[in-house]
Amino acid sequence: MNGASNPGKGAALVVAAAAVVALAAMAGCALFEDERTSKGRKLYRHYCMHCHGETGQQAEGFNWEHMPDPRPRDLSESASMSTFTDEEIFNTISREMRDTSLQAVLDDENYFAVETMPTFRHTLSEDELWAVVGYVRTLHGGSLTFDIEGRRAQLESKFREAEAARDQAQRAMDAALEKQEAAEAAAEAVRGDDEDDDEDDEDDEEEVVLPEEDAYEREQERFDVARAAWENFSKRPRMDQVSRPDLTASDAARRALAKEGEHLYFNQYGCHGCHGIGDAGGRVGPALDRAGFRLNATWVYRWIRYPQGMKKHTRMPNLGLDDHDARAVTAYLETLRAPKPDKPIPPPE
């Protein structure tokens, strides 16, 4: 008897091989995962898992049950998730936060109007956002069809081309300016050296802008745009350090601002998806019931405008508040002065 003539043994090998493949698939292919998927997985675990769960299922993330409606959908459910294009998911996680109490915002079909789903456009690079989209795809057994490498190559080559064109325009401009100066010097030599006359002449002369100067300006602008797009792709957004605001205001102005801030807190920035006030709200960040006692307003303003500037890897995304909105939300948090609880509040998980 030999192995080759034993059909049972051959079949067993095939079954074993299939089992290995199936096991690897079940383990999320962690073993065979490519670099981008593992980058996406890390980012997902850091920024998304508390609300969406490790495998994307509902009620899995620790924050899920504390969230207001609508709670995160099941990202592992293929039937509905596969109806979204990669671009749609990208747009959801990188949109600007808008006021979802406005009918126009709700009616905008191209806008994902759930305020408690935060945006990550001010926190992650475009490359990272795509990596997360790719990872979300794996949660429902799909894969990314968007060509990230193509996009990277396109943005990078546009940037290099614009740089070369700008440099060339600069050389052309320098040469033209030099020529113009030489011509002026020659003209001056012909006119002779009557100092007074000369000065009058110069005053009368119109400032001529050479076409090469115009061309350079245009190329410089194109270069700035291409560089911004390339940096936006390859680097996380960075802001200048937020300077200390002057928050003094009359009581009436402060009350009006706080009212506006409360609206923004719930309807535009969805802060309650992650922070609790009383029993309501998420648990990703600390409860803010007593923010008005505990926290310094200047600090709060700077934190909510640019959390990453104060703590690089915080799970709180930068939600893109401008100066006005940050002042309003800060004024609202100042009004939160709940009495001390009898029992200590459990620390955030």
Query: Of the two residues 9 and 299, which places its CB atom closer to ligand HEC in the complex?
Result: 299
Q: Which of 37, 86, 93, 131 binds ligand HEC (CB under 6 A)?
A: 93
Measured from the CB atom, is 3 or 344 closer to ligand HEC?
Answer: 344
- Indicate whether 130 belongs to the interface with ligand HEC (CB under 6 A): no
Half-sphere exposure of 29 (CA within 13 A, CB side): 16
Residues near 325 by beta carbon (within 8 Å), at least 6 away in sequence:
261, 264, 268, 269
Among 139, 162, 316, 328, binds ligand HEC (CB under 6 A): 316
Could you say which of 55, 92, 180, 335 contacts ligand HEC (CB under 6 A)?
92
Q: Which residues in 268-297 contact ligand HEC (CB under 6 A)? A: 269-271, 273-275, 282, 284-286, 291, 295
Touching ligand HEC, residues 40-69 (CB under 6 A): 47-48, 50-52, 63, 67
The DSSP bridge partners found for residue 277 are 280
The reply to whether 324 sits near ligand HEC by the rule CB under 6 A is: no
Under rule CB under 6 A, residue 162 binds ligand HEC: no
CB of 252 to ligand HEC, least distance (A): 23
Closer to ligand HEC by Cβ: residue 271 or 331:
271
- Nearest alpha carbon to residue 169 among 215, 226, 225: 215
User: Which residue shows structure tokens 């110069």?
Assistant: 202
Give the shortest CB-74-to-ligand HEC separation in angstroms: 8
Rounded to whole angstroms, how far apart are CA atoms 296 and 330?
10
> Counting beta carbons within 10 angstroms of the beta carbon of residue 136, is it exposed (0 to 12), middle (13 to 18) or buried (19 or more)?
buried
**Residue 328 is a binding residue for ligand HEC (CB under 6 A):** no
Min CB(170)–ligand HEC separation in Å: 41
Q: How far is CA 11 from the centre of its chain?
A: 52
**Contact by Cβ (8 Å): 134, 36:** yes
Q: How far is the CB of 219 from ligand HEC (least distance, A)?
A: 37
User: Read out DSSP for 218-286?
Assistant: HHHHHHHHHHHHHHHHHS----PPPPPP-----HHHHHHHHHHHHHIIIIIS-GGGT-EETTEE-SSS-
Question: What is d(CA 47, CA 38) in angstroms, rounded to the nearest whole number?
Answer: 14
Indicate whether 329 belongs to the interface with ligand HEC (CB under 6 A): yes
User: Which residues would be at the binding site for ligand HEC (CB under 6 A)?
Assistant: 47-48, 50-52, 63, 67, 70-73, 75, 84, 89, 92-93, 112, 114, 116-118, 120, 132, 136, 265, 269-271, 273-275, 282, 284-286, 291, 295, 300, 303-304, 311, 314-317, 319, 329, 333
